[in-house]
């Protein structure tokens, strides 16, 4: 087949949602969400519906975080919506998508979904209850192309799979690019990924734990410091 869009693609990838956040840091227990995006992509990777949130998280955004995503404390306070209502909206929208059986793509999903879980609890909102099905292109790429050398971050894998990513570290741009990377993986590894979305979710739970264990073993073998992060996926 000459066209990428003509290549077979599993059913779950023909309509999927995408989710991404930009935050104040990386520590999941204390980090706050300052920007979030959720949209639904069709089989061509085109958004058919989308929602964006700029959130006044209630604390100052560290300069290091601003250098990554470009959102300043001043802009957040001037334009951001209240955190509690924004987090509630995000949780409600994702719940609707999961209830409909729509797979939700998140690149390095354990980061975004764990932070969302903590934010919900912080504001007295019922968090997502065992969110599924989730598709994590990072976990899938590591599993199905495990011996490829080089970086595996979103920028690198967008280039690897021919996905255009402009304005990286904007929640909308990153989320949509991650969805398109997931669709590219679905085409490339059709034989392995042509399974129901819930079955794929369960496989990723296993893969994530195996990958984390392998990484810990590697760090130990080369004498690098160990870390205390929870290896559970998609919520730590």
Residue-wise pLDDT tens digits, 50-86: 999 999 999 999 999 999 999 999 999 999 999 999 9
Distance CA 231, CA 219 (A): 15
Residue 226: per-residue pLDDT: 67
Burial class (CB in 10 A: 0-12, 13-18, 19+), 127: middle
- So where are the chain's domains? 12-221
CB distance 137 to 181 below 8 Å: yes
Q: Give the fold, CATH level 3, of 12-221.
A: Nucleotidyltransferase; domain 5 (3.30.420)
Task: Return the biggest CA–CA distance within the chain.
Answer: 52
Q: What angle do CA 64, 65, 70 make, to 5 degrees?
A: 110
Segments in the chain below pLDDT 50: 1-2
Neighbouring residues of 195: CB distance < 8 A, sequence distance ≥ 6: 10, 203
């Amino acid at each position: 087949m000459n066209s990428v869009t003509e290549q077979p693609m599993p059913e779950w990838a023909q309509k999927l949602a995408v989710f991404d956040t930009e935050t104040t840091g990386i520590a999941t227990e204390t980090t706050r969400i300052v920007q979030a995006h959720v949209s639904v992509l069709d089989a061509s990777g085109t958004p058919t519906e989308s929602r964006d949130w700029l959130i006044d998280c209630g604390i100052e955004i560290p300069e290091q975080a601003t250098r990554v995503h470009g959102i300043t404390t001043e802009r957040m306070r001037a334009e951001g919506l209240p955190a509690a209502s924004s987090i509630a909206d995000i949780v409600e929208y994702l719940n609707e998508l999961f209830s409909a059986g729509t797979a939700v793509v998140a690149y390095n999903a354990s980061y975004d979904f764990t932070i969302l879980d903590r934010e919900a609890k912080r504001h007295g909102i019922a968090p997502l209850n065992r969110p599924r099905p989730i598709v994590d292109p990072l976990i899938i790429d590591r599993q199905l192309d495990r011996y490829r050398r080089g970086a595996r971050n979103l920028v690198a894998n967008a280039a690897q799979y021919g996905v255009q990513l402009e304005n990286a570290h904007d929640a909308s741009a990153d989320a949509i690019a991650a969805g398109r990377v997931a669709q590219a993986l679905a085409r490339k590894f059709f034989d392995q990924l042509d399974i129901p979305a819930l079955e794929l979710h369960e496989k990723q739970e296993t893969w994530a734990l195996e990958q984390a264990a392998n990484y810990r073993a590697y760090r130990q073998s080369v004498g690098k410091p160990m870390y205390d992060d929870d290896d559970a996926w998609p919520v730590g």
